[in-house]
């Protein structure tokens, strides 16, 4: 008896069974890859962590901005929620938009779409990756803020987590909307301009209440202003800010619906 004859298997033992993997596993794998690529990119680290940390320390220790009415709270208590909003803006919007724009330029998105990954999962993986990056940002910023004397309201932690999740979804949808429709060079320029404008005039550094009434109302309807005010209300006063949450939900739904129609693979 030959070796070949002694190792025969029953017919059908190795019948091919082609098919895609489980959606949950594909989503986790795609999100892990996207998150690792973001965290290994030096410019992304600068945008998502170093700049927010520098602003947190500077605004907490120096008299750079007009002194807000803090009551019994410290300056770092007022600054930290706004820096957390800036962190979400940096990673979920600016970082995602630029990464998506250049992925389209270099054909990455087109090649991924040729795999078993559904198109919606390509977007969902990026959003989940943004949530992972935001979670890391929150931990790092929270530790540094605590060293500076930050004492958030314990009763508002759940509300703050909800605001961070909805805010990440809103800015992530806006990032996909921008990065999926324009050329990479235009996305790079426009995403940084929007980041800078929202930082200065979008309710992050300056609260809507400190602006003239008409301008303050407009700023409070921006996702940056809504997220900053919602986090401030949760972490300083321990309250759930339903108005800002509704604003973020509308932005997330509208940007997501529009992005699904306009996002291109190339």
pLDDT digits (tens, 9 = 90+) for 79-111: 999 999 999 999 999 988 988 888 888 888 788
Residue 10 lies in a domain: no
Distances 230 to 78, 103, 143, 164, 217 between C-alpha atoms, Å: 12, 33, 21, 9, 15
Mean pLDDT, range 181-191, rounded to an integer? 91
How wide is the angle at C-alpha 52 spanned by C-alphas 50 and 53, nearest 5°? 65
Task: Give just the sign of the alpha carbon dihedral 173, 99, 182, 27.
Answer: negative
Domain membership of residue 187 (yes or no) is yes
Q: 107: domain range?
A: 24-61+73-262
pLDDT in tens, 106-148: 888 788 777 777 777 777 888 888 899 999 999 999 999 999 9
Looking at the 3D structure of the chain, how many domains does it have? 1
Length of the chain: 266
- Exposure string for 47-57, b = 16+ CB within 10 A, e = fewer: bbbebbbebbb
> Is 98 inside a domain boundary?
yes
Question: How many Cβ atoms from other residues are within 10 Å of residue 89's Cβ?
Answer: 29
- For the stretch 18-29, pLDDT in tens is 666 787 888 888
- In angstroms, rounded to a whole number, what is the distance separating the alpha carbons of residues 132 and 128? 6
Q: Which of 238, 251, 252, 266 is nearest to 107 (CA)?
A: 266
Q: Is residue 4 part of a domain?
A: no
Q: Which residues contact 222 (CB under 8 A, 6 or more apart)?
A: 198, 202, 203
Confidence band for 226, pLDDT divided at 50, 70 and 90 = very high
Q: Which helix (H) or strand (E) holds 45?
A: helix 42-45
* Residue 179 near residue 262 (C-beta atoms within 8 A): no
Residue 143: inside a domain: yes
């Amino acid at each position: 008896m030959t070796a070949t004859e002694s190792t025969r298997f029953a017919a059908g033992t190795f019948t091919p069974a082609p098919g895609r993997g489980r959606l949950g596993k594909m989503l986790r794998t795609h999100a892990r890859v996207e998150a690792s690529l973001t965290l290994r990119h030096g410019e992304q680290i600068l945008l998502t962590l170093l700049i927010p940390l520098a602003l947190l320390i500077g605004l907490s220790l120096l008299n750079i901005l007009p002194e807000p009415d803090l009551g019994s709270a410290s300056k770092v208590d007022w600054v930290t929620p706004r820096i957390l909003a800036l962190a979400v803006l940096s990673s979920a919007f600016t970082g995602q938009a630029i990464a998506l724009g250049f992925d389209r330029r270099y054909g990455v998105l087109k090649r991924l779409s040729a795999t078993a990954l559904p198109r919606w999962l390509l977007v969902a993986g990026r959003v989940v990756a943004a949530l992972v990056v935001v979670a890391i940002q929150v931990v790092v910023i929270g530790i540094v803020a605590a060293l500076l004397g930050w004492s958030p309201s314990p009763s508002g932690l759940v509300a703050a987590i909800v605001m961070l999740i909805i805010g990440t979804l809103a800015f992530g949808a806006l990032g996909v909307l921008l990065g999926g429709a324009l050329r990479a060079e235009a996305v790079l320029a426009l995403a940084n301009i929007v980041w800078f404008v929202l930082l200065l005039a979008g309710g992050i550094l300056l609260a809507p209440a400190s602006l003239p009434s008409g301008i303050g109302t407009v700023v409070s309807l921006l996702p940056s202003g809504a997220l900053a005010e919602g986090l401030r209300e949760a972490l300083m006063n321990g309250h759930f800010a339903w108005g800002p949450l509704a604003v973020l939900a509308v932005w997330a739904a509208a940007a997501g619906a529009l992005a699904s129609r306009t996002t291109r693979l190339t």
